[in-house]
Structure formats: structure tokens, C-alpha cells
């Protein structure tokens, strides 16, 4: 954290030809709420961010551990220990002096973020909306696991009103399932829900996923000084409230037009277009850093999954932990990967739990793991957003820095060690084959199971046809997650596969869609 912020401050001073103090003030002016992270900093411009942060003792070297650094060590005559030399000579004359410099060890130390962090901790513990007055697991508030993550509640004072349920008495008097279709047609006295949605094979979509499914994204303009302005940080509070995830733009449950580049296309939007009665029936139960679901499934899904087997519509459940079963930041990364035996046990247990809670007629799609060698192959020699101004930080350097700190999102793939990258992909393939076999052999009472490979290769081919480059399919800041472009393209590929191979999963097209929209338009609704 310190290296990141000091890098941005130094580059702001360089770009605007200002003092470091002025750069700090400029950054504070950019950030909403005037988060006073630090001020009155005095930095020797000859010292890079690694030296600054070690000098401030916000970075340290543990005994027996390597000295971690993002930037190339300062050059020193005929010696290779430039960083050690710079640290040793960052004495009183050249040392950073700071009257106030706080919070890098924990973002929750920032004064105005403390309350927000408490809310986020609640959300992380429970995987539920923070604002949910009736306790039905749906909310009228967007962030903190609110309707960015699952369909928007239309009555947060009534626990029997929520997206995805079967209509109560065909919603003649009120909208019990929040799809916007209720009331009675005055021409014939038939409830609109009965007229337009009866027999329409309505179903929702539920994602059980990791940070890729949650759509983790750090805006590159937060650290690229050539693009930085107050507008760059306008979405900062929302981003923190959503755990730096953007599920409202994601591949499975996205429903808003993207504001982070690319465009939004999602399985939910296509299901909604196919059958307007599916409006708001979505749940994104994804979590950053999740591996396979816990050995004891009940506490996790009983807290998070909102589906009543008797009262609700069937659901399409996407099970997509596409990388974290082989990704960790451990030095002996192979020893900490999920084994095929563990994968089999945990996924089958998850499916058995779902079988006891999903309405009959549901479907489950198991998504295979990605081949993450794509990351190193397409990014390692490119400049990271932090390194684009001075051409001094490549993704290879970033990966090595994170690995040294033992916080790499994936030590097995984000490494110059080709053998390790291949072994990681080999394990990922083994785990994908486990999922494929589960889909082939396991049978359940309330849903059928399908398998599909993660469509990275097809996505890259499609993007090339559109004139794009493979590296644009990867999040630029973390160099790890699928980008907004990749998410949107992946949706189309998944949809076409389902349409041709499992049409029963998607349900039939509702012939009344145009009439539904026309009535809304006439009544001024939306």
C-alpha cells in the first residue's frame, strides 16, 4: 500500500512539475470526502518508493526473508546491492519527514473509512445485504451486498415480497416478485402476471463464484497520473462498499451499463430479454479469494442463498471458481492447491446441499478452471499502469514484488518459472476433469448438471477478430482477473453453447415480451 501511494505521489509531482507537498495536497483534493491520509510529506526525489517506504518503516524485511521491492534497485558503483545501500544512507539528512502519515498498514485506519470498514466486515462475515430491513436477503440499497449483487427488493418491509418468487395470487393486487408485472387488465379482468407469465418457464440466475465472478476491478486511473483527476475517484466510496468488485457489470449477473470500460453483456440480461418475467431474478454469491466452498456447506449457503424450494421459481446456478483452487500466495504453492479428491468431495457436497434447497426444474452449470498461462504469456513484458510514465515497472516486476510479499493472487501462474506455470495448468486441468465427470455421472432430484470449459481461448479468438489484443482481456491493475471486455465476450460464447446444446436450460422465449414493454411504456413505468 505504501509503495503504491508513494509512487502515485512522486509521479504526480513529476507530471505537474510540483513539490511533493503540492502533489500530496492535489491527491487529497482528488479523493472524495477529503480523506486526509497524509500531508506535509517531504521526500528526497532521488529516492524511489521502495526506499521511501522502508525508511518510513511501513515496509520491513523479516529475518531470513528477501528484501521485497517493486522498482529496480538504485544503481551503485560496480555493486548490485543498491537498495541496501540506499536504505543505509537514508539518514536524518535525507530521511522522509512526516508530521502525519498514517493508515497504510490498514485502509480501515483512514478516519472517514472506519465506519465503512465495520459495515464491510459485517458483509464479509455474512455474505448478506447490510441494509435489509425485512430480512429476506434482498435490499433497496445498491452496495454492501445490496442490489448490485442480487435483484432489487421492491418492498423492504415485507419478507414475503422479493425477486424470484412465484407470484402471490398472480400479483393481482401487488408485485410480490418485484418483476414489475402486477395488477389486472381492465379489458378482461385477467391479472397481467397470469396473462403474460403463466407457463413462461420463468427462472432466475445464481452465481457461486470467486473474485472473477464478483468482477474484481481496480480502476487504472487511480494510479495513472496522466489520467488522474477528481473525476477519477468519484466512484471510490462505491468501490470500497462493494469490496472492489463490480457485480453490476459482471458476466453472469451484470445489469447496468458499464462505467469501467467495455460494455455489459450478461447471462441475466439475456435471460431477461428472452423472458421479461425474469426481471430482477439474480443473485451473485461470489467472494474474493474463495477456493472451493467450505467442507461444511450449510452455514455458507444457508446464510447467502435466497431460494425457497416451495415458493420460488427454478434457478440456473453457475458454479464457477475458475482459478483459486490452484491459486495461492504460498511459497510452496503446489502443496496448497486443491487436490482432485478434495474437489470431488466438496463439489458433490455443494450439489447435494443445493438439491435440498433449489426448486424442482432448476439447472446447474459447472465451469472448468481457466488456463492461467495466458496471463504471463501476454503481460509479463508489458508496462504496468504504475510504470507507464517512466517505463520502470513491468508486470513481471509486479508479480515478483507480490510473490516476495507472499500476497500474490497466484504464485503458480504469475511467475517466470515456466515449469511451475505448466504444473499449475496441469492441476487446473485435473480439477476441470473432476467437474466434467461429476456432470456426467452424478444425478440429482431437483436439477440436472452440465459442464463447460472456461471459454478463454474462444474469447481471445473473438477479440482478435474484432481487432483487439489478448492483453486487453486482462485487468490492467492486478494483471490477473478477466477484464470487462473479456466478461462481455464470454457471455456471448456461453449463451451460444447453451442455446445449441442445452436449450432447456435457458427456457423458451416469451411471446408477450413486446406487450409487457408496451404496457409499461403506456403507463409511464420502467
DSSP class of 412: T
Length of the chain as a residue count: 526
Distance CA 526, CA 520 (A): 6
Q: Is residue 211 annotated as part of the catalytic site, yes or no?
A: yes
pLDDT of residue 39: 45
The span from the CA of 236 to the CA of 279, in Å, is 29
Whole-angstrom distance, CA of residue 50 vs CA of residue 86 = 10
Residue 233's alpha-carbon distances to 12, 107, 127, 225, 240, in angstroms, are: 15, 16, 26, 12, 11
Domain 203-509 has CATH 3.30.70.2500: no
Joined together, the cell numbers standing for residue 228 give 488522474
At 346-398, the pLDDT tens digits run 999 999 999 999 999 999 999 999 999 999 999 999 999 999 999 999 999 99
Q: Where are the alpha helices (DSSP H) in 380-502?
A: 395-404, 418-441, 456-465, 484-501
Q: What is the pLDDT of residue 299?
A: 55
Half-sphere exposure of 383 (CA within 13 A, CB side): 10
* Domain locations along the chain: 1-92, 203-509
- How many CA atoms lie within 13 Å of 431's alpha carbon, on the beta-carbon side? 31
Torsion (CA) 222, 285, 212, 387 in degrees, nearest 10: 20
Cell for 391? 517505463
Please give the grid coordinates belonging to residue 446: 431437483
Q: What angle do CA 108, 112, 114 make, to 5 degrees?
A: 35
Non-local (6+) Cβ contacts of 83 within 8 A are 50, 51, 67, 69, 73, 74
Q: Which residue, among 356, 404, 461, has the nearest Cα to 83 in the 3D structure?
A: 404
CB 482 within 8 A of CB 254: no
The pLDDT value recorded for residue 370 is 98
CA 273 – CA 277 distance, rounded (Å): 9
Set 211, 232, 304, 432: catalytic member: 211
Rounded CA-CA distance 146/143 in Å is 5
With a cut of 70, list the residues of the chain below it in pLDDT. 33-46, 76-107, 109-113, 290-300, 523-526
User: What was the pLDDT predicted at 106?
Assistant: 57
- In sequence order, what are the residues at sequence separation of 6 or more whose Cβ sits closer than 8 angstroms to the Cβ of residue 288? 210, 211, 214, 216, 243, 244, 245
- Quick one: how many helices (H) and strands (E) in the chain? 18, 7
CB 319 within 8 A of CB 365: yes
pLDDT per residue over 22-67, tens digit each?
Answer: 998 999 889 886 444 444 455 555 688 998 888 888 888 888 889 9
Long-range contacts of 177-181 (CB under 8 A, 24+ apart): 177/281, 177/313, 178/138, 178/151, 178/152, 178/153, 178/154, 178/279, 178/280, 179/276, 179/277, 179/278, 179/279, 179/280, 179/281, 180/279, 180/280, 180/520, 180/525, 180/526, 181/276, 181/277, 181/279, 181/516
C-alpha 204/C-alpha 314 separation (Å) is 7
CB 175 within 8 A of CB 164: no
Amino acid at each position: 500500500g505504501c509503495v503504491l501511494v508513494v509512487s502515485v505521489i512522486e509521479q504526480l509531482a513529476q507530471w505537474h512539475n510540483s513539490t511533493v507537498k503540492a502533489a500530496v495536497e492535489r491527491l487529497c483534493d482528488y479523493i472524495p470526502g477529503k480523506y486526509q491520509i497524509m500531508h506535509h510529506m517531504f521526500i528526497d526525489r532521488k529516492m524511489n518508493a521502495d526506499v521511501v517506504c522502508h525508511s518510513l518503516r511501513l515496509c520491513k524485511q523479516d529475518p531470513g526473508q528477501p528484501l521485497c521491492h517493486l522498482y529496480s534497485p538504485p544503481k551503485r558503483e560496480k555493486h548490485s546491492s543498491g537498495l541496501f545501500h540506499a536504505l543505509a544512507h537514508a539518514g536524518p539528512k535525507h530521511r522522509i519527514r512526516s508530521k502525519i502519515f498514517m493508515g497504510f498498514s490498514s485502509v480501515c485506519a483512514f478516519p472517514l473509512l472506519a465506519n465503512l470498514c465495520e459495515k464491510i466486515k459485517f458483509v464479509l462475515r455474512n455474505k448478506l445485504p447490510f441494509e435489509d430491513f425485512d430480512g429476506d436477503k434482498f435490499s433497496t440499497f445498491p452496495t454492501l451486498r445490496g442490489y448490485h449483487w442480487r435483484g432489487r427488493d421492491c418492498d423492504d418491509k415485507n419478507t414475503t415480497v422479493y425477486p424470484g418468487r412465484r407470484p402471490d395470487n398472480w400479483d393481482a393486487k401487488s408485485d410480490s416478485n418485484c418483476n414489475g408485472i402486477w395488477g389486472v387488465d381492465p379489458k378482461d379482468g385477467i391479472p397481467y402476471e397470469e396473462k403474460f407469465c403463466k407457463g413462461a418457464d420463468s427462472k432466475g440466475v445464481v452465481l457461486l463464484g470467486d473474485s472473477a465472478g464478483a468482477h474484481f476491478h481496480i480502476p487504472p486511473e487511480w494510479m495513472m497520473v496522466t489520467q488522474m483527476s477528481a473525476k477519477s475517484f468519484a466512484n471510490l466510496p462505491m468501490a470500497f462498499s462493494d469490496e472492489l468488485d463490480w457485480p453490476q457489470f459482471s458476466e453472469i449477473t451484470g445489469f447496468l451499463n458499464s462505467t469501467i470500460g467495455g460494455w455489459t453483456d450478461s447471462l441475466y440480461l439475456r435471460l431477461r430479454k428472452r423472458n421479461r418475467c425474469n426481471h430482477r431474478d439474480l443473485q451473485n454469491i461470489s467472494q474474493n479469494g474463495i477456493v472451493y466452498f467450505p467442507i461444511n456447506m450449510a452455514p455458507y449457503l444457508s446464510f447467502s442463498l435466497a431460494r425457497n424450494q416451495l415458493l420460488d421459481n427454478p434457478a440456473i446456478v453457475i458454479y464457477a471458481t475458475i482459478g483459486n483452487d490452484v491459486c495461492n500466495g504460498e511459497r510452496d504453492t503446489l502443496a496448497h492447491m486443491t487436490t482432485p479428491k478434495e474437489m470431488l468431495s466438496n463439489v458433490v457436497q455443494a450439489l447435494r446441499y443445493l438439491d435440498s434447497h433449489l426448486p424442482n426444474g432448476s439447472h446447474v452449470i459447472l465451469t472448468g478452471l481457466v488456463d492461467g498461462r495466458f496471463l504471463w504469456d501476454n503481460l509479463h513484458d508489458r508496462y504496468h499502469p504504475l510504470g507507464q510514465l517512466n517505463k520502470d515497472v513491468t508486470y513481471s516486476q509486479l508479480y515478483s514484488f507480490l510473490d516476495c510479499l507472499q500476497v500474490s493472487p497466484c504464485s503458480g501462474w504469475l511467475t517466470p518459472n515456466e515449469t511451475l506455470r505448466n504444473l499449475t495448468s496441469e492441476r487446473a486441468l485435473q480439477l476441470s476433469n473432476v467437474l466434467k465427470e461429476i456432470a456426467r455421472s452424478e444425478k440429482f432430484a431437483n436439477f440436472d448438471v452440465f459442464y463447460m470449459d472456461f471459454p478463454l481461448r474462444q474469447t481471445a479468438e473473438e477479440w482478435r477478430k474484432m481487432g483487439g489484443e489478448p492483453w486487453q482481456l486482462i485487468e490492467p491493475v492486478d494483471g490477473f482477473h478477466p477484464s470487462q471486455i473479456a466478461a462481455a465476450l464470454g457471455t456471448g460464447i456461453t449463451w451460444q453453447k447453451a442455446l445449441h446444446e442445452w436449450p432447456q436450460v435457458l427456457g423458451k422465449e416469451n411471446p408477450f415480451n413486446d406487450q409487457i414493454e408496451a404496457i409499461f411504456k403506456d403507463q409511464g413505468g420502467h
